[in-house]
Homo-oligomer: A and B are copies of this chain.
Amino acid sequence: MKRKPNRVTSHVVAKLAGVSQPTVSRAFTPSASIAKDKRDRVLAAAKQLNYLPNSIASSLSKAHSNIVAVIVGDMNNPFYAESLEIFINRLQATGRQVLVFSVADGRDCDDVLMRALRYHVDGVVVTSAHLSSDLVSLSQGVGIPITLFNRSTADHALNAVLCNSITGSEILAQTMYDAGARRYLIVRGDPQGSTSRNRVKGFRDKLESLAVLPDAIEEIDGDSSYSGAFDTISERFADDGIQRPDAIFAVNDIMAMGCADALRDVFKLRIPEDVMLAGFDGIRPGQLAAYQLTTIRQPIEEMVEKTLELLDQTSMSDDDDETDQITQTDHLLAGTFVPGKTVPSTNI
């Protein structure tokens, strides 16, 4: 594969404009000191030659690449799709490019993280995915900051941005209790994930503080997915032997939607008259007229903003700071209660 013969580089532009190559470089650097007439000459020549500065070469000589990597775990969950969109828009607006990696559900993201590091990205955002401590220390050795999004970890000292799962779940528990629910069913997500665990914990603890007996709280696995929740609910409700719950808490909206459809479609149950339902996240499809989920909306924009702030701070600071001490910062943001028609507004 032979390379294109007539590549137009800054040298070619320089020759046409009658200046040196560094001057061409300066013409494209807003902050550089260059005479106005020379800059104009250079830009004119550049336009005439269809010259585009080579960002790859630029990244090589500069310390940063202007690329941020975003590793997305579960693209099927609209929450992460929505987050990704916002990440892209924010980064694009600040002049950076986004390298997106996808990690199959449950697989660790060491492979793609390695790829990202090779590109000397300015930072890495990890949404839903597991990463080994080897890779984390490698990234710290290379000096590339990682921030976890909607996920935290005790193992590695990593920055993380998340919504307060505990408080959010407490609100839902209280709301359902107030609406008269007495038997509860929790649909778990990834049992390993911090997010699912915290939401379950917040919900449970609140109920127990309201004197609900542990016997009256049931837990099943929903696989973090629509179909997983649909199936598990179908199975649970098909069993006539066990008393049915009168309130269901799915730890995320996409599972709550699966529950809603199973309940309505398979068992002809009305929500919330026959069974209450709540989710968590505040994803867009959950608020469509067909669902109108009761949920806790995560402040995605804020979370993204905080994530990028953390990334920038970290990449700044690790130049001064020769010691490799990473101080973990968990940014807990508050979610908003979204009353839907899935929990009755009046007490029973």
Contacts and interface: CB of A to CB of B under 8 A. Distances in A.
Interface of A: 1-4, 50, 52-57, 59-60, 63-65, 67, 75-76, 81, 85, 88-89, 92, 97-102, 112, 114-115, 117-120, 138, 141-143, 226, 230, 257, 260-262, 264-265, 284-285, 288-291, 316, 319
B288 A55 contact: no
A230 to B, nearest CB: 8
10 contacts: A52-B118, A52-B142, A54-B118, A55-B120, A56-B60, A57-B60, A75-B81, A88-B102, A100-B100, A265-B290
Given A50-B141, A115-B97, A119-B55, A85 B92 contact: no
Nearest to A260: B290
Contact of A100 (B98, B264, B285): B98
Contact of A120 (B54, B97, B260, B289): B54
A100 B115 contact: no
Contacts of A2: 319
A88 B99 CA distance: 10
A97 B99 contact: yes
B75 A101 contact: no
A76 B4 CA distance: 39
Contacts of A3: 63
A141 B6 CA distance: 10
A102 B92 contact: yes
A4 B290 contact: no
Given A50-B142, A85-B102, A99-B99, A1 B55 contact: no
Contacts of A102: 85, 88-89, 92
Contacts of A57: 60
A290 B291 CA distance: 8
A98 B97 contact: no
Contacts of A56: 56, 59-60, 65, 119-120
A124 B114 CA distance: 24
Given A97-B115, A264-B290, A290-B290, 12 more contacts: A1-B64, A4-B143, A4-B319, A52-B142, A54-B60, A55-B118, A56-B119, A92-B101, A92-B102, A97-B99, A257-B288, A261-B288
Contacts of A76: 85, 284
Given A4-B143, A261-B290, A289-B265, A60 B63 contact: no
Nearest to A100: B100
Contacts of A260: 290
A143 B102 CA distance: 28
B1 A319 contact: yes
A47 to B, nearest CB: 10
Contacts of A81: 75, 81
A114 B56 CA distance: 14
Contact of A85 (B53, B75, B115, B120): B75
A138 B48 CA distance: 11
A92 B103 CA distance: 10
A316 B1 CA distance: 8
A88 B112 CA distance: 12
Contact of A117 (B52, B114, B226): B52
